Amino acid sequence: MAGRLGGARAVLDVQTGGGEVLDFALGAAPGRPRLVVATEGWPPNLAKATVLLRPRGVAVVASPEDAPLPFADGCFDLVVSRHPVRPHWTEIARVLEPGGTYFAQHVGPASVFELVEYFLGLQPEEARTARHPDRERAAAEAAGLEITDLRAERLRTEFHDIGAVVHFLRKVVWMVPGFTVEEYEPRLRALHERIETEGPFVAYSARHLFEARRPGR
């Protein structure tokens, strides 16, 4: 991402979160685009990203994740994102100039579902296959984008104690909605005993690297 920023003119970071990834990439980039804009929809992240990115000259725009992007057609030659909730392919294609590139890391299907299903039970097939890279490829192509690179990985994740499990579920709040220690104490105690007896609880996070291009010059 840093290398691509160095060769871009106008960049949009969609759903920037707290701005940490964009901030790091700008610091490591070999050059600086003339224009860098970021969007974010969650108010706590919006405030954090604004404080972090404003010193770098980045405009942070409040934009709900499910709303149209508040920019004119074809005004960016590079759109980036890390872990968008849902990529809005028609909007991404619209704001890219012809020949422009979308470069992102997405969360893949059934990510860390070993842990999710330990607490919630077997999840429906639709939940397990959501965010599948083949689905996203088809949606991107339907929006008129050409897929130039798509790489999927499942990455081993180890929880070595129950404190790590609690920390993770409090931080990634959508994994087990409404999670509290009190609500899930029996399952937590059972998992603690399992880790103490058998070793780390193993799950697999899913990620895919996505690169797409708007056809044109």
Residue 214, pLDDT score: 98
Question: 61-90 pLDDT, tens per residue?
Answer: 999 988 999 999 999 999 999 999 999 999
C-alpha distance from residue 167 to each of 58, 163, 164, 173 (Å): 31, 6, 5, 10
Show Cβ contacts of residue 20 under 8 Å, excluding neighbours closer than 6 positions. Answer: 52
182 inside domain: yes
**Per-residue pLDDT reduced to its tens digit, 164-189:** 999 999 999 999 999 999 999 999 99
pLDDT of res. 7: 94
Residue 123 included in any domain: no
For residues 133 and 191, membership in a common domain is answered with no
Owning domain of residue 176: 161-199
CATH number (domain holding residue 24): 3.40.50.150
87: left (phi over 0), alpha (psi -120 to 50) or beta: beta
Structural domains in the chain (count) = 2
Q: Is residue 124 part of a domain?
A: no
- pLDDT mean over 189-206: 98
- What share of residues in the chain are helix, strand, coil (percent, to 5)? 40, 30, 35
Domain identity same for 80 and 187 = no
Answer yes or no: do 100 and 186 share one domain: no
Residue with tokens 């969609």: 14
Residues 187 and 136 in one domain: no
Specify the residue for token string 């709303």: 67
Q: Is pTM, for the whole model, over 0.85?
A: yes
Domain shared by 39 and 70, yes or no: yes
| Residue 35 within a domain | yes
- The SS3 assignment for 120 reads helix
pLDDT digits (tens, 9 = 90+) for 14-66: 999 999 999 999 999 999 999 999 999 999 999 999 999 999 999 999 999 88
Per-residue confidence band for 99, with pLDDT thresholds at 50, 70 and 90: very high
Position 217 scores a pLDDT of: 72
Do 86 and 177 have their domain in common? no
pLDDT of 110 higher than 90: yes
Task: Report pLDDT digits (tens) over 123-157.
Answer: 999 999 999 999 999 999 999 999 999 999 999 99
Asked if residue 104 and residue 6 are part of one domain, the reply reads yes
